[in-house]
Structure formats: structure tokens, C-alpha cells
Amino acid sequence: MPTFTGSIVVLTGIGAEGQVGEVVAAAFARLGASLVLVDRTAEKVEARAAALTAAGASAAAYPCDLTDAAAVAALAERVRKEHGGAIHALVHMAGGFAMSGPVADSSLDLWNRQLAINLTTAYLTARAFLPALREGRGALVFFASQAALPGSTGAKTSAYAAAKSGVLALMRAIAAEERTNGVRANAVAPTSIRTATNVRDMGNDVRYVEREEVADVVTFLCSSAANAISGTVVPLA
């Protein structure tokens, strides 16, 4: 089992109870990490931090709109001041899914929204925290999707698929650019994860990736056991 004792781990998009961020955070906590939790909604991120703290973990909550460049820069500076200059892992789970329908009938507003919450947040967060990742010789894990992998048509989900394809391009660029700085970047590309939202919207008769399976892969990619792995996409189905 990997260990993160003495490590600072930043988790974005921590979300509400029943979402994937809840289990990923709990997994890092069990492995000894000190957690920096980030979500757009203060109520949600504070609830996740409180639950982890009550269970004996070290967790601090930071509300932030990750589509806002100034807010993300301020977040990174606040984390630096309050937790030290080095972070050892950044897992970017912020994002969201929406059907866009056929391209000919699609909405520009939805297109822009999907790019903002999935791709722009990934870019701004990575850019702001890279100095701290360099100092910690840390690992960066992005959440992509099967929709961005070869074989997927992206039909009726073009905005989401384009955004997640951009996340993979961003990941590969960071992996190449930061290799000499000791920073690794990888991505997971799951199909539907068994979250409270997905079960509510799609029911139980769907093949889901379990949240615990996602957490196992993410913690591995952030661990010293994966020091030779960078620029890789791990499909989860």
C-alpha cells in the first residue's frame, strides 16, 4: 500500500456526499495525507472536510470558482501560505457532464460551459499549482473520460468529449514540459462511475466503475510506486 504520511494532497471538485471525490479523499486520508479540499460550493467542501476531520484525518476546506483565474491564483497563494510551499499530489476532479445533442442543433452556451468547467478549470488549477508541485516533485492526476478515447464517436456529447480531449492534451503537455522538474502528470478515463448522481439519473441497470476502484488507481498514480509513469491515460471500465 502506498503511504502519503507527511504529504500535502490537493483535491478539487470534492463535491457532495455520494460523489467520487468523497471516496478519493477518504482513501488519501487513510494513507496519511494532509488534505486540501477545493470545491465551488463552500457548504459542500466544508461538510467533506468536517466529516474527514471527525474521522481523525487532516483536512482543510477551500471554496473556489476554478473557472476564475484570479480566484485560482489566490487559492494557490493561500494554500502556499497555510500549508507550505510544496505539495505532493494534485487530483483535479472538478468538472461536469451534459448532453449537447447533435452538433447541428447544439447550444453555444452549453459548449462554452462544458469547456469552462472541464478544461479551463484543469488548465487554471494546474498552472497555479505547478510551482508547488515542482517543489514537492509531485504528481498531477486529471479526470478525463472514455468519451475522449479512440473508438468513441462523441455523438450527442460533442462539447463534453471535446473538453475531455483537451484535458488529455493538457496532461500530455504538462508531462513533457515538467519531466525535468520532477513533476508527473497522468489521467484516468472512466466510463460512468457509481455516484449518487449517476445512479439517480441512469438507474442501477448500468455497468458502473466503483468509486473505490477509481480511488485505488488515483492513489497509485500519485504514489512513489508510480514514479516512472507520466503522460499516461488509464481507462477504467
Task: Inform me whether the pLDDT recorded for 70 exceeds 80.
Answer: yes
Tell me what pLDDT residue 43 has.
95
Q: Is residue 25 part of a domain?
A: yes
Tell me what pLDDT residue 216 has.
97
- CB 141 within 8 Å of CB 187: yes
C-alpha cell at 25: 479523499
Q: Where is 175: in which H helix or E strand?
A: helix 158-178
Q: Tell me the average pLDDT across 107-125.
A: 98
Mean pLDDT for all residues in the chain: 96
Q: Is residue 153 part of a domain?
A: yes
Whichever domain contains 123, its CATH number is: 3.40.50.720
SS3 190: strand
- The boundaries of the domain holding residue 226 are 8-236
Q: Is residue 2 part of a domain?
A: no
Structurally, the chain folds into a number of domains equal to 1
Q: Is residue 156 part of a domain?
A: yes
Q: Is residue 3 part of a domain?
A: no
Task: Inform me whether the pLDDT recorded for 112 exceeds 80.
Answer: yes
- CB 79 within 8 Å of CB 61: no
Tell me what pLDDT residue 22 has.
94
Q: What is the pTM of this model?
A: 0.96
The number of C-alpha atoms within 13 Å of 58 and in the hemisphere containing its C-beta is: 13
Task: Inform me whether the pLDDT recorded for 173 exceeds 80.
Answer: yes
Tell me what pLDDT residue 16 has.
83
Q: Is residue 1 part of a domain?
A: no
* Pairing verdict, β 184-190 and 233-236: parallel
C-alpha cell at 128: 497555479
Tell me what pLDDT residue 155 has.
96
Q: Is residue 101 part of a domain?
A: yes
Q: Is residue 231 part of a domain?
A: yes
